[in-house]
Amino acid sequence: MHISSSRAVRSLLTTPLIALLSFISGCDSAQAPNQSLEVAVKGLYSAALSDDGTLAVVGSITHGGSFWRLETNERLYNWNHSGEETSTIVVSDISPDNNFALTADPATLVLWDTKTGEGLRYWTAPGEILSAKLSPNARTALLGLSDHSAVLFDIQRGGVIHTFKHGNRVRSVDLSRNGRLALTGSEDGTSILWDVASGKELARHKFDAEVKLVKLSPDGSLALSMSKFDRALLWRTRSGEALGEIPLGSERLKRGISFSTANFSRDNRLLLTGRPDQVVQLWDLASLTEITRWKMPKRSAWKPTSTAVLAVSFGENEGEYNAIASNGFIHQLKLAETPP
């Protein structure tokens, strides 16, 4: 193995920069972040948040991978796949129990122990990895690949357990928290639900455009499938029944604005989504209406730099949320009032 892991020091966002970011975001009608933490000086390739919003793993453009504890704003470890140079971490994830993390560059993937920071397993990737999700206890990883398939990969011993075939690249994958259901979304315009034990297809939804994002609720009962220029469909996994579509303005769809990330609340009442245009939205799932939105600030209000939302999570306390932006900041978001 040539895995590189090192301890890191605390890195806090300075007060003047917080004030500047709040001013920039305040020019928009949406809410501004409550607090912001800088985790990369020139932006991110990838990012993931733990389910409880306390941990984050990011792939920086300049310094490779790093692991953060958000409760104390500490960078705990620097993670790279080689001891000689920084890695281009294009995909990352944290296991549901918070004990493990996964990082992937274009050619390799590494399983990390989040308690010690040590690399546990190092594997050559079975193909170009576009998305990944760790199972409970990190026994397996669901990988979305560019070779028109997703695979259930044995990340402890190596090797492919199941292959889930599509007609084009698999851009997004997810697993239920019990590890029994897998959801895949492909550029072939399909979103497919699979039984992990047997590898059999359980349900599918067809869209008129490529599926950019799929997400399962924590208990696996609900699914979100989002296609580019098309729609955001909410449906039941048990029956495949469509419950409705999250309303998106047609002008935004024509511009190519869709969800880049999403997360369900633990009780399935709320959905938190992030977009490529700096916006985070909180939705009520019973009525499929927006409760509120936040605008993630750019580094400079005067430069045409993009700021996509890469990851979102619900916080440990009600009315608190987290979002990671591609310009290298992790933001804490709060509601003025708790949702109904």
Rounded average pLDDT per 10-residue block, the chain, 340 residues = 63 41 50 94 95 96 95 96 89 97 94 97 94 94 97 96 97 95 97 96 95 96 89 94 83 64 96 94 95 90 75 94 97 77
253: phi then psi, degrees, rounded to nearest 5: -65, -40
Select the CATH number that applies to the domain covering 4-12+67-292 from these four: 2.130.10.10, 3.40.50.300, 3.40.50.970, 2.40.30.10.
Answer: 2.130.10.10
Cα 334 from Cα 318, distance rounded (Å): 9
Q: What is the pLDDT of residue 3?
A: 77
Cα 328 from Cα 219, distance rounded (Å): 31
What spatial distance separates the first Cα and last Cα of the chain, rounded to whole Å? 51
Global pTM reads 0.89
Q: What is the pLDDT of residue 29?
A: 73
- The 8-class DSSP code of residue 32 comes to P
CA distances for 32 relative to 115, 138, 142, 278, 315, angstroms = 33, 35, 35, 11, 17
Q: What is the pLDDT of residue 216?
A: 98
- For residues 271 and 264, the answer to whether their CB atoms sit within 8 Å is yes
Query: Encoding tokens for residue 50?
Result: 């733990």
- Three-class SS state of 136: helix
Query: Encoding tokens for residue 335?
Result: 């509601």
Listed by start position, the domains of the chain span 4-12+67-292
Between CA 262 and CA 17, with CA 72 as vertex, the angle to 5 degrees is: 80
80: Cα separation from own chain's centroid: 20
Q: What is the pLDDT of residue 115?
A: 97
Between CA 34 and CA 42, with CA 37 as vertex, the angle to 5 degrees is: 130
Q: What is the pLDDT of residue 1?
A: 53
The DSSP secondary structure of 223-292, one letter per residue, reads EEEEETTS-EEEEETTT--EEEE----HHHHHTT---SEEEE-TTSSEEEEE-TTSEEEEEETTTTEEEE
